[in-house]
Every structure is written in C-alpha cells, then in structure tokens.
Amino acid sequence: MTQDILTLADKHYPEVVRLRRTIHANPELAFEEHETSKLVAETLEKVGAEVQRGVARTGVVATIKGTKGSGRTIGLRADMDALPILEATGLEFASKNPGKMHACGHDAHTAIGLGAAMILADLRDQFAGEVRILFQPSEERNPGGAPFMIDEGALNGVDEIYGLHVIAQNDAGTVGFCEGEMMASADELYITIKGKSAHGARPQFGIDPIVISAQVIIALQTLVSRNIDPFSQGVITIGSIHGGFAPNIIPEEVKLVGTLRSMTKEWRDYAHKRVVEIVEGVCASMGASCDVHIDKGYPVLSNDPSKTRFAEDAACELFGSDKVFKAERLMGAEDFAYYLEKVPGTFYRLGIRNISQGITADIHNDHFTIDEASLKTGIAMQAYLALKALNA
C-alpha cells in the first residue's frame, strides 16, 4: 500500500504544484477566499468527490466514499487564507494581489488537500467508509474559520481528524510529531486604568493612572513567575500602552493591551481569574478603578497521544524513520485546536526548508517560500493517514 501511495503522489505531483502556484499567485484574506474556494470546489468535482460549497461562508467540504461499503469517517483539514503582507520573494508566481501573500503556507496546505483527494479517489476500491476533507476559511484571523465549520456541521460524524502545517526549520521530505499540548491558547487583554486628572506639579489632587499602570504591568509578571508550575509554560506580554499627552498633566486614564498564552486549559482559566484580581487589586490599593476585558482566542491545541503515535508510525512506514522528527511545542496558536476539542487526532509539521536552494525564511516573512518537493510528502502523508485509519 505505501508503494501505491508514493506512486500516486508522483503521478499527481505536477498538478498539485500547478494548483499551489495558482493559489499562491492569487492570495485572499480571511473569509474572502472566493476564488480559492471556487478553484478548490471545481478541482474536487473533477476528481469525483461529493462537494459542499459555501460552508462557513467560503469553506468547502469534500467527501470521498470508499466502494467497500459503509464504515468510519476520517477527517483531513486544509486552511485557505493568506496574510496582509507585501510579497518580496520575486518568484515568477508571486502574489498578484499587492499587500496579500501566502506567507504561512496555506497555499501548500490547500494544494495538499486537493492532492490527497486525488490519491484517495484513485484508491476508492481499497477502503470502506469515507474521507471528509475540510477546506476552511480564516485560520489567521480570530475568531478563526474552524468554529464556524464545526457549527455548520462539517465535523458531524467524523471519527478522527488530521491536519498539517509547514515549518521552515525542518527540511523538505520530513514530517514531525508532538504528543499532547503542542500549541498555546492565545487571548487578548484590554485593560483601562481610570484615575483622576490633575496638574503634574500637584499630584496630591489627582490619581495618577500612569504610575498605577507601571505597578500593574510589574504585578502581572508574577502570573508567569509565581502562578505557574515551573514545568509548565505561559506568557504574558503587554504590547501596547497609551495614556497622557503632555509633560505636566496627569491624565485621566491609561489603556494597556496585551496577549496571554497558555499550554493548559486549567492554567488558562486560572490566569484569566488572576489577571482580573491583580489589576483590580493594584488599582484599588491606589484609589483607581479599572475595566478588564479578556477577548478569548484559540484554545490550547492538544494532540491525542495514541493518534499521534499512529500518525508517526504511518510516516515511518511511508518515508522511513530518518524522515521523522520530534516537533517542538510552540507558543503560537492555531484554530485546528477547535477540531481537536471535538474529535481525537493530531496536528503535525511538514518540513519545507532547503538550505542549498536558500529556502530558509520563516513563515509570516515577506521572503517565505517552500521547497515544493514537500508537497509530494504532504499529499502522500495525508492520503496514507486516512487510508490507514479507515483500514485500522
């Protein structure tokens, strides 16, 4: 079976490269993936998949049924949105939409989803059950496309799900896995400290929100230094502070904006409570009042241990164990986490680096690109995972 998959990956590779370049040249931002979505749906129809368009606005759901009868349903996921970046790669198929760029590799993810569909359609007579491929909008922008795909039923009946993401720190031809918590939850903090304006030379008549905000920022650092298990991880960053407009005026209020990242649901909930307690406590001790708003983003991404080992075994069978690496945990966030809250599965890394060809730029960089050989690895891996899971 692994040889069949690799042969079919070779067969479909030129078309997958063509699709990836077409998508790369025509990037669309979150929830605006109209042309990408159309190309995806038309390609899937040609392959003979059942296609549902307009899921979560611009998403597409494809179903490929095996001819051996009914059985389980395996989900595969691809995200389709680009980033608001001006591309500087100089590639012949560089972005034709100035200020928009596939700098996170979602063009590759989408083309890989289509390539996996082609292989699975060729192998329909090898399996019972079905493969559901979710092409979702908006991974980059909170609240993400995944919760809308789930709300509209894209995950109904799916028994397990697999997704991948390109990584610029590993070579093309390799894949990496990580059991358990792999990526962080990401929440935004909006804090307003309300004091009392006064003359800068007569502070006794005011309540200085600038001095208080300094205390608040320092006190919030104890969340990570004192309120987390030293073997666990969390980050709090205040990325913006605004208040005041003149050297001799104590302003009325100061606004702080920040991000809070955690690796466990438990600490995330606890940290939310502590942020409110710390800000309210410090402000109260100094006579100020405050507003604390936490805008919840993507949850912690937690890979099911047994499905992760299953996927890692599949990769070893397909490519050999020397092509498999241990994926690092990252404090970045990813809306694939929502699917993993509903069904078991794993999110794994696809190496795209090629040092000899100078392909080393990181994602979200205006020089980012991929070694396209990684597309072949991706389509073989996704298709084989689905087949192996259905036949398990």
Taking the least distance from each CB to Zn ion, the nearer of 325 and 347 is 347
Which among 104-112, 230-238, 318-326, 382-390 is the span making contact with Zn ion, rule CB under 5 A? Answer: 104-112
Contact (Cβ atoms closer than 8 angstroms) between residue 378 and residue 115? yes
- Map residues 57-86 to x or -, x wherever contact with Zn ion holds by CB under 5 A: ------------------------------
Confirm or reject binding of residue 333 to Zn ion (CB under 5 A).
no
Closest approach, Cβ 109 to Zn ion, in A, equals 8
Q: Give the number of C-alpha atoms closer than 13 A to the C-alpha of residue 140, restricted to the C-beta side.
A: 22
Which among 102-110, 115-123, 192-200, 245-253 is the span making contact with Zn ion, rule CB under 5 A? Answer: 102-110
Taking the least distance from each CB to Zn ion, the nearer of 296 and 364 is 364
Crossing angle (nearest 10°) for helices 34-47 and 106-122: 10
Closest approach, Cβ 140 to Zn ion, in A, equals 5
Q: Which of 28, 139, 312, 372 is catalytic?
A: 372
The 3-state secondary structure of the chain, one letter per residue: CHHHHHHHHHHHHHHHHHHHHHHHHCCCCCCCCHHHHHHHHHHHHHHCCEEEEEECCCEEEEEEECCCCCCCEEEEEEECCCECCCCCCCCCCCCCCCCCECCCCHHHHHHHHHHHHHHHHHCHHHCCCEEEEEEECCCCCCCCCHHHHHHCCCCCCCCEEEEEEEEEEEECCCEEECCEEEECEEEEEEEEEECECEECCCHHHCECHHHHHHHHHHHHCHHHHHCCCCCCCEEEEEEEEEECCCCCEECCEEEEEEEEEECCHHHHHHHHHHHHHHHHHHHHHCCCEEEEEEECCCCCEEECHHHHHHHHHHHHHHHCHHHEEECCCECCCCCHHHHHHHCCEEEEEEEEEEHHHCECCCCCCCCCCCCCHHHHHHHHHHHHHHHHHHCC
Which among 8-16, 98-106, 254-262, 287-295 is the span making contact with Zn ion, rule CB under 5 A? Answer: 98-106
Contact (Cβ atoms closer than 8 angstroms) between residue 304 and residue 344? yes
Taking the least distance from each CB to Zn ion, the nearer of 298 and 384 is 298
Supply angle C-alpha 79, 30, 15, rounded to 5.
40
Which among 96-104, 144-152, 192-200, 244-252 is the span making contact with Zn ion, rule CB under 5 A? Answer: 96-104
Closest approach, Cβ 151 to Zn ion, in A, equals 21
Closest approach, Cβ 102 to Zn ion, in A, equals 10
Distance from the Cα of residue 10 to its chain's centroid: 28
Supply angle C-alpha 251, 257, 262, rounded to 5.
150
Count interface residues toward Zn ion (CB under 5 A).
1
Taking the least distance from each CB to Zn ion, the nearer of 50 and 362 is 362
Residue nearest to Zn ion (CB): 104
Which among 36-44, 100-108, 283-291, 292-300 is the span making contact with Zn ion, rule CB under 5 A? Answer: 100-108
| Residue 298 appears among annotated catalytic residues | yes
Taking the least distance from each CB to Zn ion, the nearer of 104 and 381 is 104
Interacting positions 280-299 with Zn ion (CB under 5 A): none
| Residue 139 appears among annotated catalytic residues | no
Taking the least distance from each CB to Zn ion, the nearer of 83 and 207 is 83
Closest approach, Cβ 37 to Zn ion, in A, equals 17
Which among 97-105, 234-242, 244-252, 344-352 is the span making contact with Zn ion, rule CB under 5 A? Answer: 97-105
Taking the least distance from each CB to Zn ion, the nearer of 104 and 352 is 104
Q: Which of 28, 33, 140, 298 is catalytic?
A: 298
Closest approach, Cβ 106 to Zn ion, in A, equals 6
Closest approach, Cβ 340 to Zn ion, in A, equals 16
Taking the least distance from each CB to Zn ion, the nearer of 64 and 134 is 134
Closest approach, Cβ 155 to Zn ion, in A, equals 20
Contact residue for Zn ion among 47, 51, 104, 390 (CB under 5 A)? 104
Q: Which residues are catalytic?
A: 298, 372
Contact residues toward Zn ion (CB under 5 A) are 104
